[in-house]
């Protein structure tokens, strides 16, 4: 008869989950015993890094990805990274080793006392099987739940003495299962929606990360051109849903109630596709909608639709909804939006008192835009330079941009490794702030060990620049802990086995970046930069 162990690996193999991201402890060793040769194990030195790499891999591959955590402590270490995975709809299957069943009640060491509750509310489903024989079925449920709309992480706690138990031959039925979702509004609902779009005098499009996740970018462009409307990216966007040099592109909306209302003023219909309505951050109260405007929301997430404070919502598959809607939308005769003017170069700052160079982030982004491959993928976690990046770096291909969806720091370094593993044919460039980098610095070790050719660009300004901006906004400029001086990222990178270069003038960066592009190994470039407003 098959065992829980053999049945589980058969199931994982059939569902394509053959890459495992983990940091093992004693509870996980029985699962990893006799690890199959056709599986890959990617080791991270901290569970936050493990989950961040898996998050990037899942987002870039579009497939459910297996994460193997160590009991309660390992789950706790991963929770910060899990916030980003939850809000980015990342289909992660988190498994955590549990103490032997006979030892759980006495709360022996490494017992996950209330395993099901621990990861909530950041998972779609959390479960610990009541008996060993239920483990394969529960894992099957976890995989399908993670993949069904709206995609998202799930959690399964598995006692370590379950793996050797025998299961019935019926477990083989799990390998043959297929679970599909084809959500789409009715023909009448789509016709009503198209009528409202055709009748709008001055509509505007707001696009979110699920447009990119469902590979509906080209459909969004066609919709914008047919209705002659400008296209904004939703606030705090974790992906790029629209080509940034298209004439309709207007940038990223601010993450504030008043700011969004001001930017969308004058439009009578706001069509939001693949984004929450809305992800606010800065507290700037105002009216949710500008005067005279109505809002329509197309989303794959019923929770996002239900919690929105305004507008009408249609729930379904983003790609299928746009594909079905387009034939019903008339080509309008309004003038097409005019492209935004290209941003002007900024002057190079004066050398520091020490004589060392530094660079304006805008200049750095202009250089990256000029030198990077046109299909480069950017993993961005420099939170104070978001607007400057979107203005200056061209992104024309789907899957070209990833950003921490919940704003939880520590995403950038490990996610860049995971994205590169999932997309070996494209070059991944991680653009990381010096404050953010230290939350997951050990991801450099994984990049070195697996020779993942990411180019990590560290913007070193010695401060939490976004936090400094908020300190002025909140009249809290005298708060402690806003600066991070004395960091040497080149030394840190070399200590983890990554080649490192320092380049803080345009000429030095051009040389270093060109050199890094020619290597098939990870490279870190440290750039001293000035601070700018977010």
Measured distance CA(213)–CA(505) in Å, rounded: 36
26 carries an active-site annotation = yes
The catalytic residue among 44, 46, 47, 157 is: 47
Q: Round to whole Å and give the CA distance between 526 and 496.
A: 15
Query: 429 has which bridge partners?
Result: 378, 455
CB atoms within 10 A of CB 29: 12
Q: Judge residue 216's burial from the number of C-beta atoms within 10 Å of its C-beta, 0-12 exposed, 13-18 middle, 19 or more buried.
A: buried
Number of neighbouring beta carbons within 10 Å of residue 328 = 15
Pair 496, 426: CB distance under 8 Å: no
CB 516 within 8 A of CB 500: no
Which DSSP string corresponds to 96-165? Answer: EEE--HHHHTTT-TT--TTTTTTTTTSSS-EE--SSGGGHHHHHHHHHHHHHSSSP--EEEEEETTSTTS
Q: Which of 400, 80, 424 has its CA nearest to residue 211? A: 400
Tell me if residue 25 is catalytic.
yes
| b (16+ CB within 10 A) / e for 114-148 | ebeebbeebbbbbbbbeebbbbbbbbbbbbbbbbb
- For residue 122, give every residue at least 6 positions away whose Cβ sits within 8 Å of its Cβ, in sequence order, or none: 79, 82, 83, 85, 86, 153
128 in active site: no
Q: Are 247 and 336 in contact (CB under 8 A)?
A: yes
With H, G, I as helix, E, B as strand and everything else as coil, classify residue 405.
Answer: coil
Catalytic site includes residue 281: yes
User: Nearest to residue 403, comparing CAs of 214, 252, 240, 183?
Assistant: 240
26, 108, 168, 514: the active-site residue? 26
CB 320 within 8 A of CB 183: yes
Q: Which residues does residue 38 pair with via DSSP β-bridges, in sequence order?
A: none
Sign of the four-CA dihedral 199, 204, 208, 214: positive
Candidate list 62, 183, 251, 281, residue with the active-site label: 281
- Residue 70 designated active-site: yes
Catalytic residue among 5, 22, 28, 384: 28
Cβ atoms of 520 and 453 closer than 8 Å: yes
The answer to whether the bond into 150 is cis (omega within 30° of 0) is yes
Which one from 70, 89, 297, 319 is the annotated catalytic residue? Answer: 70
Q: Which string of b and e fits 257-287 if b means at least 16 CB within 10 Å? A: bbbbbebbeebebbbbbbbbbbbbbbebeee
Kindly name the residue from 48, 97, 274, 407 that is annotated as catalytic.
407
Q: Is 62 left (phi over 0), alpha (psi -120 to 50) or beta?
A: left
Contacts of 316 (CB under 8 A, 6+ apart): 183, 184, 185, 298, 300
Q: Is 526 a catalytic residue?
A: no
Q: Which two tokens stand for residue 224?
A: 């914008």
What are the catalytic residues?
A: 25-26, 28, 47, 70, 281, 407
């Amino acid at each position: 008869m098959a065992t829980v162990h053999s049945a589980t690996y058969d199931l994982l193999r059939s569902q394509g989950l053959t890459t495992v991201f983990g940091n093992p402890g004693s509870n996980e060793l029985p699962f990893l015993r006799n690890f199959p040769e056709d599986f890959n194990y990617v080791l991270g030195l901290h569970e936050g890094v493990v989950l961040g790499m898996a998050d990037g891999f899942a987002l870039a591959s579009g497939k459910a990805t297996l994460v193997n955590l160590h009991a309660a402590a390992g789950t706790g270490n991963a929770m910060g990274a899990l916030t980003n995975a939850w809000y980015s709809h990342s289909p992660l299957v988190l498994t955590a080793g549990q103490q032997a069943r006979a030892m759980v009640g006495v709360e022996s060491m490494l017992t996950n006392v209330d395993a099901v509750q621990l990861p909530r509310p950041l998972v779609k489903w959390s479960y610990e099987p009541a008996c060993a024989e239920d483990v394969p079925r529960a894992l099957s449920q976890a995989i399908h739940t993670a993949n069904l709309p709206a995609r998202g992480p799930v959690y399964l706690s598995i006692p370590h003495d379950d793996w050797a138990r025998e299961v019935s031959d019926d477990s083989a039925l799990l390998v043959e299962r297929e679970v599909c979702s084809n959500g789409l509004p009715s023909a009448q609902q789509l016709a009503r929606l198209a009528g409202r779009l055709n009748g709008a005098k001055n509509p505007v499009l707001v696009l979110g990360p699920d447009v990119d996740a469902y590979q509906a970018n080209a459909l969004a462009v066609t919709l914008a051109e047919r209705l002659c409307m400008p296209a904004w990216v939703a606030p705090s966007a974790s992906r790029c849903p629209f080509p940034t040099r298209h004439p309709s592109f207007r940038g990223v909306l601010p993450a504030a109630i008043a700011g969004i209302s001001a930017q969308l003023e004058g439009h009578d219909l706001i069509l939001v596709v693949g984004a929450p309505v809305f992800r606010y951050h800065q507290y700037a109260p105002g009216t949710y909608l500008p005067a005279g405007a109505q809002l329509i929301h197309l989303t794959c997430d019923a929770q996002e639709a239900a919690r929105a404070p305004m507008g009408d919502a249609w729930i379904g598959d983003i790609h299928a909804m746009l594909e079905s809607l387009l034939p019903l939308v008339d080509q309008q005769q309004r003038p097409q939006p005019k492209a935004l003017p290209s941003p002007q170069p900024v002057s190079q700052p004066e050398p520091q008192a020490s004589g060392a160079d530094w660079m304006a982030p805008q200049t750095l982004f202009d250089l990256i835009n000029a030198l990077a491959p046109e299909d480069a993928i950017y993993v961005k976690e420099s939170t104070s330079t978001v607007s400057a990046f979107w203005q200056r770096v061209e992104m024309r291909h789907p899957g070209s941009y990833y950003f921490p969806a919940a704003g939880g720091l520590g995403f950038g370094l490990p996610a860049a490794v995971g994205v590169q593993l999932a997309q070996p044919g494209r070059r991944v460039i991680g653009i990381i702030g010096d404050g953010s980098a230290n939350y997951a610095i050990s991801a450099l070790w994984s990049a070195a060990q697996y020779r993942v050719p990411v180019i990590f660009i560290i913007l070193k300004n010695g401060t939490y620049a976004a936090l400094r901006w908020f300190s002025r906004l909140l009249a809290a400029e005298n708060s402690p802990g806003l600066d991070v001086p004395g960091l040497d990222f080149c030394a840190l990178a070399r200590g983890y086995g990554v080649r490192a270069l320092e380049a803080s003038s345009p000429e030095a960066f051009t040389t270093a970046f060109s050199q890094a592009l020619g290597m098939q190994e990870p490279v870190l470039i440290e750039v001293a930069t000035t601070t700018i407003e977010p």
